Structures are given as structure tokens and as C-alpha cells.
Structure 1
Amino acid sequence: MKKTHNINLRTNSLYRRAMALCMLMLISQACSDDFLDQTNPNSLTTKSFWKNNSQLNQGLNSVYSALKDNDVLGIQNESVRTDLAVPSGYRQATRPDEMYFQDFTANTKYVENKWNALYLGVFRANQVIENYERLSEDYNTEAAKEQGLEVYAQARALRGYFYYVLNTSFNDGNVPLVIKVPKDFEEFQKALSSSDAVQAFYRDDLQYGIDNLPKTYSEWESLGSNNLGRITAGACEALMGKSYLAENDFITAEGYFKNVMENYNYTLAEDIATTVTGIAEFNSESIFEINYTTNINLETSGEESLAQNITYLVFNANIQPSSWLSMKYRAEKPDPADPANMNIGADAYNENGEIIGTEDRMRLYSKRMGDCMGQVDDPDSPMYGAVNGEYGNATGVAPFARNRVTMFKKFLHWNTIGGGAGEDRSTLMNNRSGINIPVIRLADVYLMYAECMLESGNLSEGLKYINRVRKRSHLILLGKASEAGAEFNNLETTYMDDIDFDASNGTQPVTLQNLMEHLRFTERPLELALEGDRATDLRRWGKFKEQLENLASIKYDYWHYEKNLNGKHGTRYKCYLTVSGEEPTTYDGVKVFNQPPEIQDATVGAQKFNESLHAYLPMPQSEIDSNLNWDEFVQ
């Protein structure tokens, strides 16, 4: 059956390349000269390569390599199309940015690149799967069977993940299901499968991973250190739950999340920075992360995709926290009863910003902000060994000023490289970083499980898991210490039964309804900025356009930061935001003063956003051009 589609429907240019390859093969077969029919004895072919488990594992490595393509996660583009980030250093921008302005179409490069990256992963996984099925018929030892099954289970699990991303990203979830390596022209012309069919397919792959893979990274490591980083049963189970949550099937999702929390021995890491800056990769909180490395000769190997460039996009201010998100971070209150928030021996300043001694005092801003976002007036969360107000002294390091109001700290080496030197910007390493990128971690599962609990009406259980995440960052906890199931009930923990205490706008006791809003628009964005599936969340909540309009409705004032701490720099321009009309907070004599005009975020995007066009990415035009069945559905 034909289905009516708008101009934004789109498909896979991977097919187009494959079609071209098929045509070349046909042309070569038509040639009568004998020498054209000869096979190069030194070249690898399908028949000469896929002969044993060792080569099967080499093929699997190519699937993991496909996973590393930055467009699979699309951190920059996915963040600026939602409420999390702004591109470059501007807010009320006049320069076009297709994703930020909600101007993306079937011809947008990111749309095509993401689609191609995902289907390349599917294609490589299918190669491994098919050749395992052929080789498995001749296994004659238990060891060979076990090794082959291990590779096969990983390939299926990774294919399941690629299809999960395709289904939640493109064309209302309706995408071609390529379940085997195409052999001829007709097999490249895949009609669309319904979203339900795609979900059933990739869930079957993920279930196979649950049943046949080691449970966690530590179990993989026990089989040999070279195995660390492979996909796990825990990852498959967490992704399975996430797939049901994407459909607002809270009851089914709850079961998977509960299994992940209770049966895999995951625990929260010491802080967020531990999970996102390369300090402790594959730690106890990590459920699924993409393993990047620069420990190879990139110039000779050609495998540049083994590294990521997100670090350099963040470091060079190509992506910054949205004004709304920045103010959310700044509003979070450290728990005054928690000793971790006491800064012992902190520098004390006079009215000129000069150090005059030390003092014991509370953190000015939350530890969660200090781990995730840099702000010029935060004196308690150094970056690259420098207090934020002094950051930028080193040559080539951009300070907080003009194009850098605030900055993300995730995926930077700010806590592993000292002295303000910044990232390695040598010719070889420029735009390449080995910091791993998490796909899902335990804090995310806690918050998703909490959402399921709130949807079922279980306020105390929802609070319990939200508060576990908050306590890790030493924040004031929500609700009452007397609440059923309340944890951390001690003299070092403050509970507050006021959902808006950070905003200081009156008392609103914690309820199911306002806790859900808090979860959606405080806990998840502050904990998981640049991680997670924010577009999927906003879409399934029915809040995408409303949230963009909310961002566009708030006006902010730019302020200059007149004196950096200890006076090493003069005025930093336009590096401090407040909601319009509010006077900025000053600390220890550090002064700010107003700089008009007012600014706003997302004004263009909020106006242009159309649910039917922008909630999902469109199928790329290259797929429409190359697939004869792009507008048909499987019968």
C-alpha cells in the first residue's frame, strides 16, 4: 500500500552507494576480456575473509567502529534542537543554524549523516550475523561454539541499538528494516516497515543480548582486559526499558528498570564528573558507553572515528548551555547540612577582588553545576587548575567573555589537565578526544524508574530515586524525612517539602503533579544535559513546542563581569546572565554592571516548530532519490 508523505520523507544513501556498486559489478561481468574477469589474489573478498571466529571478531570490531561515528548520538545537533543548548556563542542569533532554527529538512546534512551512520552499523552487523550463521554449522568444539555465539550476540545487540536510534529519531519510527546483507538490486529497494514492526525487531535483538551476553563491563573484563567496553546484558535491558518508555508504556518499562537496578550491581559513581571526563571510564555507574581512543597512530590507520570531536566542540564554545538551563544550574541550592558543601580554607577577597586570606564557607553553587557547567563567578569549581574567574589566562584558551557566557564541562579534561593549559590542540590531536561518551548510566535509569513510579501514583518511591540522584551531588532533598522510604535521614541531610524552593517564589508542597514537572524540567536536564534522548522525551511528553515557546518567552540581561577574582584580568564582557529586571548577585566585592540589550533564546525555533515536521527527523532526500520503494510500506 502506498502511504501519503510530505516533502520531508527521506531514506538511506547507503543504498545509493550499494546500487552504484551493483552497477559496477554488472558492467564488469559484461566485459568479454579475460583479464577483466581475474580476481586479485592479494585482495580480500567475502569468500576469502569470513572463514573463522577470529575473522568474525574482526568484523564485529567494524560494527563497534560504526558505533563511534559522532552522528549516531548527534550530541551537538540534538541538543540545540531542544531546550538544552545554543550553537556557537550567541543567543538571539541572526546567523542561520538549521537545527536550532527548526529549519532542518530532508536535505540537511546532519539528517543524512545520522541516517547513513546508523545504517552503516546495521549493514556491518548483518555481515557478522549472516557469516556466524553459516560458520556455526561447522563448529566442532564447544570453545568454537561459545566464541562464535559471543560475537553473534554482540552483533545482534548492537544492531538492536542502531534500530532503536533509527526508530526514535526518524519518520515517526517508520524506517526500512534491513535484516540481511542485500545481494542484488531488488534487495536494496526496501519499503518502509511500521514503527511497531521495527520495535518488535530490535527488541528481539536486545532480548537476545539480555539472554546471551555477560551482565556488566566487569564480567567482560574478567574474560580479558581487551574485552572491556563491549556491550552487555545490562545495557540491553536498560535500552529495552528505555524503548518502552519512549512509547509511554510505563508498566513494561518499570519492570526492565527494576531488573537493571536490582540484578546487575550498578552503583552511582562519586560524582557526575567521574562519569563524563575520562577519570574512571567503565565505572560502577556505567551501563553503556561508547569507547573512544587516541592511543593509535591516527595518521597511518585512518580510523579517525575511533576518537570523538565533542570535546573540541564544547571547548571551543561551538555549543553552550541555553540561558534557561544556565539559570536552572545557578538556582540549585547546596545542602547546608552536608559537609561536602563546606569549602575549607577557601580564598577570601577584598572589594578589589584581591586575595586577603582564607575562610571556611559554603559552596556558592551546587556540586552538580560545578561538575556540568562553568560560570565565571563560581569560585569553588576550578577548571584546568584555575578558578573560573581566572580561566583563560593560558595562551589560546578563550575566557568567559562575549562568545562564551557559560560552558559545558562534560566531555572535557578540565579535571585531569591542570594549569589552564586546556585540551591538546596539536595538529595530530586537534578535534580528536579519547573521552568516552555515555549512552546510558545508572542515574538515568533511576530518573526513568522514578517517572514510572510517579505515573503509577507512587510518590514516595519516585521521590526515593530522585533523591538518590540529588544526594550524590549534595543537594537539598525533596519531600519529608518522615516520608515512607526516605533515605539519608541524618543530621547531614536537609529535606524540604517545597518543589520550588530553588526559585524562592512561595511554598508548593511536593505532589505527584509538580514532582513530575520537576523531574522533566529540572532533574533530567540538569543531570543529563548532552546525554540521553531529550528530543524523544519532549516529544513523548507532548511538551516540545511548549518548552521552546517557554524558552523564547524569557528575556535576559547580559552583564559585564567587571573584576576577575584576584584582579588578573580586566572586565569580561557579556559573560553573565540574569532574568531581565533582576539585579545580579555579587560575591565578595566582585562587581557586575548592566549591558543592554535584552536577549532571548529559541525565538526563531519556537515560532517555526511544527510537530509533524520537527518532532522526528525526516527521511533524508538521498534515500528518497535512491530507493524506488521509499513511499511504500511492507505488506
Structure 2
Amino acid sequence: MKMENIHIEFKKIVLTMKKTFLKGIIPLLVFACAFQACVDELDQVNPNALTLGTFWQSTADLNTGLNAVYAAMRDEDILGILWDYTRTDIAVPFSHRSNATGNPIHDQTFDLSTNQVQNKWDACFLGVFRANQVIDAYDRLSPSNDETADLILAQARALRGYFYYTLHHSYNNGSVPIFRSVPKDFDEFQLTFSSSDEVQAFYREDLQFGLDNLPGTYNAWQADVGGGNLGRITGGFCEALIGKSFVNDNDFASAEVYLRNVMDNYTYELQDDLANCLTGQAEFNNESIYEINYSYDANPLGLDEQNLAQRISHSLNDGNQVQLTSWLTQKYRNERPDPADPANLVNRNIYDSSGDLIGVHENVVRMYSWRMANSLSSVDDRDTPMYGVEMAEYGREQMAATHARQYPNFIKKFTGWTTNNGGVGELEGPEYDNRSDINIPIMRLAEVYLLYAECMIEKGDLSEALRYINRIRKRSHLILLGSSSDPSAEFAGSATYYNDIDLDLTNGEEAVTLTNLMEHLRFTEKPLELALEGDRTIDLRRWGVWKQQLEYIAQFQYDAWHFRNNRMGKNPTRWRCFAMPAGVIPSYDSFADSEFIPDYAFRVPTNLQINGNRRTNEPFLRDHLIGSQNFIEDVHSYLPIPQDEINANLNWDQ
């Protein structure tokens, strides 16, 4: 190659690297940068400007740098709630629900140039670079007997461990470059990719350092270090993530040790109400092992994170950019509340066919479970208000979307649906900028329980597995699994137990087995409890069922029914907003008080073959038909190396 061509290629590489490097290497100095003139007489040095040589001089500087690492955690592409779950059995994008095509993540046609592939990589490595700045500065300062500085180092390493955990489980079969310090010249950027085992050992070492040197919980931070420390990464999270990483390797014996310790030797406990974990009304509670802290405050550093709020809440409610799959929606609808649990008893208004209130039916069992109520809306849910109004009424306010057409449901997780604002929806106005200050959990105790239950199933201890699964189910007031005579039956006498894992009340003699309990954990408990949480991509990949599961849910077809809401004509009909399996007529005969839930809320045809008010076999309600056909295990189970990295790193394939 000619020298001038080599020079041009080198310049392109450097320019490409600059996008990631400059954001990571100088985040704290951006407000101090001065433009240098191209002529000698204007080439002046600002004596007040911060430089790498003048800034990293104290523990206060380290803490400022650490704040920038936490700020990097707020990038929504790291968790990928608004897109990564749409390539699994959990969710579909709004574009699919409106019958549009061409979403590369959902269609399994993404490649190294897809925006989300690049954005997640950039977000994680931005966090790595910022953490390395703090770690390098600590090493240069070598502070002695400085507990504050030591805690800063432990946080930076724990956060770096999390970024590398995410990279390892997201990209290139776990093989990515390991940056142990901030690159200082071009050659130090040209790292060969470390093996998956090397990356795993690296992030586990960082997490172990955090486990050994950080307060265990949020409460411990407050008590041992002082107020104002809520939201900092904890030793408990480090230990839980190490345990989870062993589950991801199917090393259940090693995982058990860490998960058991998280459950027994910290102060974590399930919240009585799942909404406390997901709606911002009880942030940093005792179920939260780690959550990303968001607020409406402006960022004083003037970095990319100008607004410290998140846009997930508005995207799920007002924008409705993500829907749960029809398969998962039906699973939520089929969960049965425990009739023996007083928390499931409600008073329900009774209306006549004209929509006039004619009475109240007292102490009737809820139509749908509390777990569904905290996760998903349904237009016919008579018992759970959303933003202060009955769900069939939701959408009358001008700013609120309605259950209609491509909006058969709303995801309620990570939104303020518990707010009583007359059905307005998420906060609107220029001051909110379509953003929210609701914290987003990365890990909570319920996930640890389910990880531990999987370890117990693999070990053959079904009673222990049922104990922790049922604790989660009891929190949502569901009928419990197994038998009340089982040694694990903690709630015998105060709860109803299914006698078999198939959830069939008529077949009480079938025993709980390893096979059906594992299937239930994988395809009922985990997706229903952890929808949009818990790294579903990792689970489907390690179970070896990703394509099989997409093909399974893609086979089902659905009808979309019009709904005349529960005030029977007083409000507009919700057009094509209620999904049911094809050929199934909506009916409430299975409910104890079915006579008070009239089927005529739906426009039921007299002839199922000819019906102008009902669309049969709605293609926009069918799940992952294209994606299930396109999915190739070796191509799509991990994200590819982004194009920018290939352009910038001369050794990416060495």
C-alpha cells in the first residue's frame, strides 16, 4: 500500500476511535478544554485549565471521577430494556404491533452496523474508560490510610466488573478486549481480543474486590459511611452477580454458595407489594440489590448525560414503544389468584346494559393476579386502576394513549401507573421532557430466589426449589405450587396449593418432577416475574432453547376483539384491543362471580365465520414469526463486534 494511503487509513482509524476515547478519557475536563489556534501567536496556554496532570490530585478528584462512572451507568442501551428483549420471547416492538416490518433486532436481521449493536458497545466501554481513569489515578496517588479513597477504588472496580459482565454476555461469544488501564497512545488501543474465559476471570476479580471492600447493602452504606450514599454499588450486588455468572455457566454448585449467602447473610427481603420495586414509590427498599438511580436534576458536569432522568417510562406508556408478546400476555391472564388469600378480595361495581351503576358486589375474588396487575394492563381488568381510573376508561385524557388497535396492553413496569392523576398517564410538560425519575432495578431478591431455585432443581432438591418459588408467588397472592403437606409448604393453612406442577386443579395426583418444575421455572415463573428484567437473552442461550422457543410462540394465532368497556357504552369502544387465542370467545365462566362480569362487554358474534366487528387471526398479534425463521444460533445468540471497533482496532481479529 502506498504511504499516502496508509496515512489516510490511519487518520480514519484515529477519527473513529476518538468518538469513544474522548468521551471516556476526558469526561471531567470537558468544561476546561480550550481551542488551540492554528497560528503560533495565538497558541497560548490557559493557566487555569484543568489537565490530566493537575486534576487528579486528591480524593475529592477521585470522587468526582467516580460520579462520572455512575453517570455512564444511566445509558439505557446497557440494559436494552427498549430493544434487547424484543429478540426474545418476552417482547415485541411497537413497529411490529402496528404491522410494520423491518425492525432488525426483532426480525433477527441485525448485523455489525445496527445502531443498537454499536450503542451498547460504546456505552459499556465508556463506563470502562471512566472507571479506569479513577483506578489509574488512585494508583498514582497511592493514598495511605484513606478509607474514602479505598471505597472509591472498590466502587470503580465493581462498576468496571459490571460493564465487563455485560460485554462478556452480550458480544462475540464472550471475547472482547480487556482494558486494564486508560490507553495512552494509539498502540495501546490496538488490543487483541481476550478469550471468553479471560474476560470472565477479569470481571469476577473486579466483582470479588468489590465484595471484599464495599458495604453489603444500601442500609450499610448509610449506617457505616454516612447519609447521602443511597444508590452506590454494594458488596451484596457483587456477590449476587458472581453467583449469577456461575448460573450462566451452568455451574450450579458454585453458584449455590454465593446465592445462599446473599439470601442468608444480608438484610434483603421481599417487598409485600411488587409495585414498590418497579414504580418509584419505594426506591432502595430491602428487596433491591442494585438499581440505577435517576432524577430530574441537571448534570453539573455538562457531559452527555445532560439530563439524569430516563425515557423508559414514557416510552412504555405514552410512546408504547414496546409490548409484551401475546404468548406472555396470555400467561399473565391465566395466572389464578388464591381465593383463600384476603388480599385477592375486592368490591366490584355492577352496571346494567345501559352503563348505569346498579350495585356493588362485595368481597369477590380478583379477576387477575397481582403479578399481572403490577406488570401488564388489560382493558377488561375491573379490579386494578391505572393512573387512578379503571383500565377500560384509561385513554380518555387527551395526553393518554388508549387500549385500542395496536395497543392491546400497556407494560406497567417502570412506569408511575400507581399515581392517582385521573388517567393522565406519565408526567407531561417541557420540564419533564418525556422523561422520568423512576429508578430501574438491575437485580432484586426475587431474581436471586429464582436463580437459587434453579440450582436446587439441578441438585434434585425439589422441596427447596418450591420453597423459594412459592415465596415469590405468595407475595403476588397466587395459588402456590406443590402440596400443603410438602416439607417446603411454609404457608400451609393460609394459602391454597396446587397438587401438581401442571397447574391443573382437576389432576391432583400428578407428582412434581424435575422436568416439569424446570419447565415451569423457565417459561412461567421467570418470564412473568422478571419480564424486561433478568437478562432473558442469557437464559435462552444457556438453556439451548432460543430458536425452539421462538418457533413455539410463533405458531399461535390470535383474534383481536372490540371491547365496550366496563361502563357499558358510556365511553368509546376500544377497537381491536383485546387479544385471545384464535377461535376462543372471551368468557368469564371460570370466575366465581362470572354473573357479575357480563360477556357482552365484548362484541361477540353470533356467527364465528362472518363477523364485521371482529378481526380473526390478527397478524400483528402473532409473535416472532419472522424472527423465528431468521434466527441462527451461531449468528444471533450474541451481538457481533460493531463496525466501528473493526475499523478502529487493527488487531480485532488477531
TM-score (norm 1): 0.92
Deviations 1:162-214 (A, max 9, x none): 00000000000000001100011100111100000000001000000110000
2:647 paired residue number: 625
Supply the AA of the counterpart residue of 1:371. Answer: N
The corresponding residue for 1:68 is 74
Amino acid at match of 1:436: N
Contact 2:131 2:156 in 1 (8 A): yes
The alignment partner of 1:348 has SS state of strand
Which residue pairs with 1:262 in the alignment?
264
Instruction: Decide whether the 8 Å contact of 1:559 with 1:577 is kept in 2.
Output: yes
Displacement after TM superposition at 1:440 (Å): 0.4
User: Which piece of structure 1 moves more, 578-587 or 225-234?
Assistant: 578-587
How far has the Cα of 1:353 moved from its partner? 4.0
- Residue pair 1:171, 1:618 contacting (<8 A) in 2 also: yes
Q: Classify the secondary structure of the residue corresponding to 2:361.
A: strand
Matched residue, 1:591? 602
Query: Who is 1:372 aligned against?
Result: 375
- Do the aligned partners of residues 177 and 17 (structure 1) sit closer, same or farther apart at CA in structure 2, a change above 3 Å counting? same
**1:485 offset after TM fit, Å?**
2.4
Name structure 1 gaps, 5 residues minimum: 1-10, 23-27
CA positional deviation for 1:89: 6.1
What does the per-residue CA deviation read over 1:480-510, in whole Å, with 9 as the maximum and x for residues that have no partner? 11112221111x3001122222698997532
Spell out the pairing of 1:7-156 with structure 2 (5 A cutoff). Answer: 15-17=17-19, 35=41, 38-88=44-94, 90-91=96-97, 93-137=99-143, 139=144, 142=145, 145-156=146-157
Aligned to 2:484: 481
Confirm or deny: 8 A CA contact 1:14 1:116 kept in the other structure.
Answer: no
Contact 1:320 1:408 in 2 (8 A): yes
The structural deviation recorded for 1:334 is: 0.2
What is the CA distance between 1:562 and its match in structure 2?
2.6
Tell me the amino acid that sits aligned with residue 153 of structure 1.
A
CA distance in 1, matches of 2:560, 2:479: 29
**Corresponding residue to 1:288 among 266, 287, 290:** 290
Are residues 1:162 and 2:163 paired? yes
Q: Distance in 2 between matches of 1:450 and 1:21?
A: 42
* Alignment pair present for 1:606 and 2:607: no
**Which amino acid in 1 is paired with 2:210?**
G
How much does 1:578 deviate?
0.8
TM-aligned CA distance change 1:172 to 1:40, over 3 Å = same
Return the alpha-carbon distance in structure 2 between the equivalents of residues 297 and 63 of structure 1. 13
Whether contact under 8 Å (2:240, 2:448) holds in the other structure is: yes
2:217 match: 216
Range 327-336 or range 423-432, more displaced:
423-432
Q: Do structure 1's residue 529 and structure 2's residue 531 form an aligned pair?
A: yes
Over the aligned positions, Cα root-mean-square deviation in angstroms equals 2.4
Distance of 2:571 and 2:643 partners within structure 1: 50
Could you tell me which of 319, 342, 347 is aligned with 1:339?
Answer: 342
Paired amino acid for 1:98: P
Residue 42 of structure 1: how far off its partner (Å): 2.6
Cα deviation code 1:523-561 (max 9, x no counterpart): 000001011100000000001001100111111111111
2:294 partner amino acid: Y
Provide Cα deviations, 1:288-339, integer angstroms capped at 9, x if missing partner.
1000111347998863352111111101211011100100000000001111
Match of 2:454 in 1: 451
Shift of residue 219, structure 1, vs aligned partner:
1.0
In the TM superposition, 1:188-203 aligns within 5 A as 188-203=189-204
SS in 1 for 2:83: helix
Matched position secondary structure for 2:413: coil
Contact 1:353 1:563 in 2 (8 A): no
Report if aligned partners of 1:317, 1:403 keep a CA contact under 8 Å in 2. Answer: no
- Name 1:6's counterpart in structure 2: none
Number of corresponding residues:
609
Aligned-pair distance for 1:418?
2.2
- 1:157 counterpart letter in structure 2: A
Q: 1:391 aligns with which of 394, 405, 417?
A: 394
Query: In structure 1, what is the equivalent of residue 496 of structure 2?
Result: 494
Is 1:397–1:421's contact at 8 Å kept on the other side of the alignment?
Answer: yes
Distance 1:507 1:572 in 2: 43
Displacement of 1:72 in angstroms is: 0.8
Distance in 1 between residues matched to 2:15 and 2:294, nearest whole Å: 26
Residue 407 of structure 1 deviates from its aligned partner by: 1.1
Q: SS of the residue aligned with 2:410?
A: strand
Q: Give unpaired runs (5+ residues) of structure 2.
A: 1-12, 25-33, 589-596, 605-613
How far apart in 2 are the matches of 1:295 and 1:601?
A: 39
Asked if 1:240 corresponds to 2:262, the answer is no
Identical-pair percentage: 51
Q: Distance in 1 between matches of 2:41 and 2:492?
A: 82
Q: Which moved more, 1:327-336 or 1:418-427?
A: 418-427
